[in-house]
Chain A
Amino acid sequence: MDMLNIALPKGRLGEKAYAMLKNSGYPCPALEDPGRRLIFENPEKNVRYFWVKPSDVAIYVERGAADLGIVGKDILLEYAPDVYELLDLNMGKCRMAVAGKKDFREPVGKTLKVATKFPNIAQRYYSGKCRDIDIIHLNGSIELAPILGLSHVIVDIVETGVTLRENDLMVYEEIVPISARLIANVAAYQFKEQSINRICGSLREQMEGKS
């Protein structure tokens, strides 16, 4: 049987996902030891895990370095990778939203300045509304942009809303709900279908058991 390669996003989401995969019959004791290694293998179960930056998971899977991966829907919407999206894991739930200062009023007759880490999602959302926008692509601390007058609004992920509240910002529109998804490389699925379906079925059962 071929080795199954699974890309996990570094952080809490990846750890939760690994716990579910372990319960599905794919444990990897080496991964549970703390350390700085990035790749872990369990030859008995024919599985190899690796930790990658959350926004890179889709690239590893699309390019075939990983057969399966756990990734946020935000990344799938932003980069539109050619992968199978097999399962909504109902974890890491949050929403993609438009937020601005509490006293924000949309500038009429002007181009709307939008700061975001997700230019494609923002572009698509506003083209759907035929709204002329100027995208300001930032890599972090997006909340600063409207406070300093760099942008009118931000398009970003909102989980609890605490960061927004503490910076006197609020959500104006919700674009799409986000959660973690199980994705598969399209070609790998053709040749490792049985193992992938077994994992999928077990993850689904675990989720149904919880709900």
Chain B
Amino acid sequence: MTEQIWKNEERAVFALRSLYRRYGYAPYKMSRFEEYELYVRNKDFLVSDQIITFSGSGGRLMALKPDVTLSIVKNAPETPGVVQKAYYNENVYRDYREIMQAGLECVGDLGEYEIAEVVLLAAESLALLGEPYVLNLSHMGLVGAMLRSSGLSGKQQRQAMACLRRKNRHELEGLCGGNPLAVSKLSTLLTCRGGMEALKRVEAVLTTEGERQAMAELRALWAILEGRENAIRLDFSVGSDLGYYSGVVFRGYLAGVPESVLSGGQYDALARKMGKRCRAIGFAIYLDLLQELHQQENMLDVDTLILHDGSVDTCALIAAAQEAAKKGSVLVARETPRERRWKHLVDLRNGEGR
């Protein structure tokens, strides 16, 4: 009964919290606002640049938080060997909307284990939210290295990145023009999708040491994820800003939700930009999108409707309501309520009991 009245997003919050706690992530609670300067310095990292600002004490410009990650990275530990693991469930404010977001961040002296753990927790989170799910995985270190070695100018590289994101092969090939190296490398990235086979195809077109190093990282991670090819796929259209993301990046989808519900990655470059000597990886889940998921809708709003005309003794009315509430939900009203549907009607008007 209790489970039934939970909305999808409420159920998700409980399930995710339990999952993250089991892996040693501590709850993180942040205040509703931060100084605007924190966001304006890292504007491109944010999903939207529509930040709601107001004047704080002493004339400082404050912002309703559009993001949680920046606040966590700001306070990240820099001691060797120390890792901070945090999860959150916060409302963030973007484009004049309040958005319920959950997620986790793992910051500090990260190793291969932590990276793999976060990717696996992203997959586990999706599985908790609903099946089937798909987690697309890419590596910005690899994509960045391949773009740099393709012989394209800086502007062309940015355009090529946009083509990769849109799976737009026709314009990508046009952009590479008569450059066969660029065509071979970037078309391979664009068309490769799936598991080990896709990985091998990309491997075959690598030419530089930087590319091979990034590929080795991706290969090591893929070995850990092996066996989950149905749900986790390599897909290099998962693109994020190269200025912030340096390693693995991923995006998650649930059948029935028309956009990605989970987005994350390794953002060591953001930490560096913020002057922190640490590495960082995390993801966010956009809980408001779970409203889109089909929920077994109860066609009835209430089990029992008790109608009375004000002449019924209040004690008798309370007793009737309590009796009905023992079996299910009850609504006591003087008029037949509009836009509500009920299973049983108890009509106490005109002293009747039906």
Contacts and interface: CB of A to CB of B under 8 A. Distances in A.
Contacts of A84: 166-168, 237
A64 B166 contact: no
A85 B168 contact: yes
Contact of B258 (A88, A185, A193): A185
Interface string A36-66: 0000000000000000000000000011100
A10 to B, nearest CB: 23
Q: Is the interface of A mostly helix, strand, loop or mixed?
A: mixed
A191 B166 contact: no
B202 interface: no
B170 A187 contact: no
B258 A187 contact: yes
Contacts of A184: 167
Interface residues of B, number: 18
A62 B132 CA distance: 20
A83 B258 CA distance: 10
B170 A191 contact: no
Contacts of B166: 83-85
A84 B14 CA distance: 34
Interface residues of A, number: 19
A186 B260 contact: yes
Interface in A51-98: 62-64, 82-88
A162 to B, nearest CB: 28
A40 B34 CA distance: 52
Contact of B253 (A85, A88, A187): A187
A187 B259 contact: yes
A181 to B, nearest CB: 8
14 contacts: A63-B258, A64-B257, A64-B258, A64-B259, A83-B166, A85-B168, A85-B171, A86-B167, A86-B169, A186-B260, A187-B254, A187-B257, A190-B134, A191-B134
Interface of B: 132, 134, 136, 166-171, 193, 237, 253-255, 257-260
The 8 closest A-B pairs by CB, nearest first: A64-B258, A190-B134, A88-B170, A84-B167, A85-B168, A190-B253, A85-B166, A187-B253
